[in-house]
Amino acid sequence: MEVVGDLRKKNCSTVMRNLSRQHSDRYIFRIETKTFTTTETRAVYINVSDSLAEPNVIVPVLREGEKVNLTCTVPAPCPSHPPNVSWAPALGGDVTQRTQMNTDGTQSVSAILNFIPSFHHHELKVNCVSIHPLHREDKPLLSHKTVILSVEYPPKKTWISLTGMVWLGNNVTLTCQSNANPPAVHRWFLKRAGVEEELNISHVLSFTAAQDNTGEYICEAQNTYGAMNSTNLQITVPGTSFTAFLSLLAVLLLLLFALLILMIYRRNKEPIRSETSQDQNIYANMSASAVKSQQLKSKPRKDEKTSAINPVYTFKQKLPDESIYANC
């Protein structure tokens, strides 16, 4: 132990080095001199832990575009070995360290992060880390604390999503979504013939499709810091219902199918009749040729001037088998 300070000015302190968990006990302050001795009746219990308490982090209200400071403070029980405090990530800002004296006479070290927040920093995790070197440089003590930033900013994006089919009599639901903090209030507008009409204040708009629902739908997202409109969504309600459309489509498909079947039937039937008629003509012609050939062969001719019989030339033609045509 080491006593530092001036006892006569009542500002002395005791520095205890190289503590371990075995040093957890009750301690009493005692003064001993050659002529004077006194012991404090009140005891102080000291609990030695192998881990440090979390740093104290102060995060103010973060608004986009406004410069702010994030402060992380840790105790410095050993002034000769102050801790090293830092922020990670630094968010593109500057980090400075500052040592201050507390009201109870102890010291602390603070790391101050100065930066300009944007909507990209919203819900980002940032860590404050402190390293206490002590005398055991091979095993320094670490402590850290993680905070999640909440940055307030105007709407950055607004869009409309459509649920359901837009047909006469159908249920249609429009949902407006936006990227804003704090959450935005949504207003619906319908634009027809260049005139805008406010419909509702809600992030959901539902209706049964009718002819008067045709037009351009616009959603406006607004919070404390600004407003932003979505792109226009054109909705056109047909003059017929989806059920009637399906019935008409089914009838047309049936007629088209019947017409296709009829065309295929005619196309397959006509070539068969043509081929049958042609085969019959060929058979009739060839049969007549065969009869003439037989007649020429059976009647030899005599020359009127001479008694000799002139030779008769017979042309034999190999006829096709008539049973083939009969089968056909």
264 within a domain of the structure (yes/no) = no
Same domain, 61 and 35: no
Cα pseudo-dihedral 175, 178, 180, 182, rounded to 10: 0
Same domain, 110 and 165: no
Same domain, 121 and 195: no
pLDDT beneath 70, residues of the chain: 134-139, 239-249, 270-328
261 within a domain of the structure (yes/no) = no
Tally of domains within the chain: 3
Same domain, 110 and 189: no
Range of the domain at 91: 56-149
pTM passes above 0.95: no
Same domain, 67 and 143: yes
Are 171 and 164 within 8 A, CB to CB? yes
Say what the pLDDT of residue 326 is: 46
- Residues 173 and 217: their CA atoms lie apart, in Å, by 12
Are 186 and 201 within 8 A, CB to CB? yes
Three-class SS state of 24: coil
314 within a domain of the structure (yes/no) = no
Same domain, 38 and 103: no
228 within a domain of the structure (yes/no) = yes
Tens digit of pLDDT for each residue in 88-101? 998 889 999 999 98
Are 31 and 37 within 8 A, CB to CB? yes
140 within a domain of the structure (yes/no) = yes
Same domain, 94 and 170: no
Residues 6+ apart with CB under 8 A from 106: 75, 76, 77
Please say which residue of 210, 235, 260 terminates a domain.
235
Same domain, 112 and 191: no
Same domain, 25 and 42: yes
Please say which residue of 105, 125, 149 terminates a domain.
149
CATH of the domain at 139: 2.60.40.10
| DSSP for residue 65 | T
E strand map for the chain = 2-4, 13-15, 25-32, 37-46, 56-58, 62-63, 68-75, 84-88, 94-101, 107-115, 125-132, 141-148, 151-163, 171-181, 185-192, 195-201, 204-208, 215-223, 226-229, 233-235
Please say which residue of 235, 267, 302 terminates a domain.
235
Three-class SS state of 9: helix
Say what the pLDDT of residue 285 is: 56
Same domain, 137 and 160: no
Same domain, 81 and 13: no
Say what the pLDDT of residue 306 is: 42
120 within a domain of the structure (yes/no) = yes
- Residues 260 and 275: their CA atoms lie apart, in Å, by 24
305 within a domain of the structure (yes/no) = no
Say what the pLDDT of residue 138 is: 61
Say what the pLDDT of residue 307 is: 43
168 within a domain of the structure (yes/no) = yes
- 28's tokens: 């009493």
